[in-house]
Amino acid sequence: MTLTKTAFRKKCLERLKNSSNHNKLYKNYLLNKQLILELKNIKNSKILFYYPLPMEPNIKKTLFKMRQVCDVYIPFMEGESFKMVPFRLPLKKKKFGILEAGNTHRNINKVDIAIVPVVGVDGNLQRIGFGRGMYDRFFEKLKKRPYTIFLQEEFCYTKELLCDDYDITCDLLLTPTLKLTKSKRVIKRK
């Protein structure tokens, strides 16, 4: 039986749901530490973050830190996709329970770095998300593909190629215990 994208997504979501909550704070600490290290020399850049949902890695620490030295944006839901809006408080709860900053009339369509949560990744380091395709539609509208960092709280990877051509790919995948680069080089952390 061949693995399908839907079956793999289901397996990854189960793994996330069944992961231990007692060390969730520690996993998020490790992810924030690694993400800050990756972004430490970045200044005056435009970075797309996400504001975390309960099942996504909590990167608020990095988000607030990078806000001091870069232009930071978060998604603002629009129909089947989203647009980038400047990260500013207060945030309001919107569709799917996502906290969003207020809308803007600015049309922001260029970003240098994108930080994206993933449920799983396939052999091409393409994203398996929650199944709504919002990031895929968003990336399709960008003029230039940004340097993309995927974040996972639980490593869920298959060597099989499950994704479609339109599914976004990453340059770097970070988990609490490893770092996987586009060249498929794995760097395990202690």
pLDDT at residue 67, rounded to an integer: 93
**What domains sit in the chain, N to C, each tagged with a CATH number?**
5-185 (3.40.50.10420)
3-state secondary structure string, 29-77? HHHHHHHHHHHCCCCCCEEECCCCCCCCCCCHHHHHHHCCCCEEEEEEE
pLDDT at residue 149, rounded to an integer: 96
pLDDT at residue 190, rounded to an integer: 44
Q: What is the mean pLDDT of each run of 10 residues along the chain (190 residues)?
A: 86 89 90 95 90 91 94 88 88 80 83 95 91 86 92 92 89 93 62
pLDDT at residue 169, rounded to an integer: 92
pTM of structure: 0.90
Taking the C-alpha atoms of residue 140 and residue 165, their distance in angstroms, rounded to an integer, is 11
pLDDT at residue 147, rounded to an integer: 95
